[in-house]
Amino acid sequence: MTQPPRKLLVVEDDEGLQRQLRWSYEDYDVVIAGDREAALTALRAHAPAVMTLDLGLPPDPDGVTEGFATLDEILKIRPDTKVIVASGHGARESARRAIAAGAFDFYHKPVDIDELGFIVRRAFHVADLEAENRRLAESAQGNSGDVLGGIVTGAPEMIKVARMIERVASAQVSVMLLGASGTGKELLARGLHNASLRAAKPFIAINCAAIPENLLESELFGYEKGAFTGAVKTQEGKIELAEGGTLFLDEVGDIPLPLQVKLLRFLQERVIERIGGRKPIPVDVRIVCATHQDLDGMIASGRFREDLFYRLAEIVVRIPSLAERHGDAALLAHHFLAKFSRENSRSFKGFMPDAIAAISDWHWPGNVRELENRLKRAVIMAESSRLTAADLDLGASNDEAALSLKAAREAADRIAIRKVLARTENNMSTAARILGISRPTLYDLIKTYGLEAG
């Protein structure tokens, strides 16, 4: 079914320009407003994702006072609306002030219709990404039953991982998740559990690197009363506690060799014996494990048992780093900004352009965990309503950076193109239609940004 045209609110008092813009935006359902009151009425009635706003509105058509007052009220009513501001009055200062106040972008008068049309299309792309991001975040927060609830991604590399986990979730096989620290291995393990037939049973996680070697055995297998000094009562281990469900062994490469033998025996026989006990206890549990270590190298050097590896790694899933998940850094940044803003009772209008550019360009050695920590700190410490690169400790913020919109625009284009290509499985015709551009233009953008397409 054909989708109805999208609403675009144009706030402009010049009747000739009103007609020109309405004619130019024939792909949109254009709503015209000529002053502040009409703009706010249309905003409430139509809730447009994108709007253009001339700062020179009556009763101050030769200044910007009324325009900035209108911008302020718009963002109070609908802070997610992408407002594209126009002015011919003191353009440089107006641009700086508008972006700082929360405008999405700025263009100078007289209007270049092609340039403005490009900005409008990009604004709709970004609005779509943010709306999808909010939907994903709300799904995860509400535990709505999404197959991998909690995974926020638009990257083809990560979507491929999610689809693989969906396929193996219902199979009774052990799964090994391989990836660098901070890539979200436990989140994926929980997603796998929730998508499996064991979802109603426990998900028990244990970090094998965080527990001293002499305590890890009792943590896994439990112990009987009197088994050692301090064992004043019988204690079930993590394996028993996961009965019927999933046991997640994080950093499995840190399990010492003697304990590897006991774990292998459990995997072969599916029974355990508590420390100090003599009675075999059958346990029905699925094993999912993860590590950032080179297990092949550990096997070659005799630090990890090859037979244990093959028991644990019936299916191997390799998780890409955040740097390899094209476009996900910006998507996750918006997710974490919303999450930590709620948790800390703070209100932000989003990111300054220099922050988006810095997020997209940073190599993220600490992966998603690093991004999460930077956003958490920034939400607590930032003083302005929009986070800057300096707030994220990713570079200094200055007036020139705030006005350097080209990098932010290109970052938004990359995110949108990657996301649509992933959703359409690289169908160029469909992707071009969704993006609102021609196929040749899409090919040119893919080449310009160095993106891959099938």
- Residue 387: Cβ-neighbour burial (10 angstroms; 0-12, 13-18, 19+): buried
DSSP 146-175: -TTTT-----HHHHHHHHHHHHHHTS---E
Note the pLDDT of residue 351. Answer: 85
Q: Can you list the domains of the chain with their CATH numbers?
A: 6-111 (3.40.50.2300), 156-319 (3.40.50.300), 323-449 (1.10.8.60)
Instruction: Find where tokens 């990836």 sit.
Output: 179
Note the pLDDT of residue 1. Answer: 46
Distance of CA 290 to CAs 182, 250, 273, 313, Å? 12, 5, 24, 10
Note the pLDDT of residue 148. Answer: 66
CB 279 within 8 A of CB 166: no
pLDDT digits (tens, 9 = 90+) for 194-224: 999 999 999 999 999 999 988 999 999 999 8
DSSP 214-236: HHHHHHHH-B-TTSSTT--S-B-
Note the pLDDT of residue 133. Answer: 57
Note the pLDDT of residue 2. Answer: 55
What distance in Å separates the CA atoms of residue 28 and residue 379, rounded to the nearest whole number? 36
Task: Quote the tokens at residue 274.
Answer: 């508590």
Segments of the chain scoring below 70 in pLDDT: 1-3, 89-90, 132-150, 395-411, 452-454
pLDDT digits (tens, 9 = 90+) for 169-202: 989 899 999 999 999 999 999 999 999 999 999 9
pLDDT digits (tens, 9 = 90+) for 297-311: 999 999 999 999 999
Beta strand 350-351 with 286-291 is: unpaired
Query: Dihedral of CA 216/219/224/225: which sign?
Result: positive
Note the pLDDT of residue 399. Answer: 40
Q: How many residues does the chain have?
A: 454
Residue 195 phi, psi (nearest 5): -90, -5
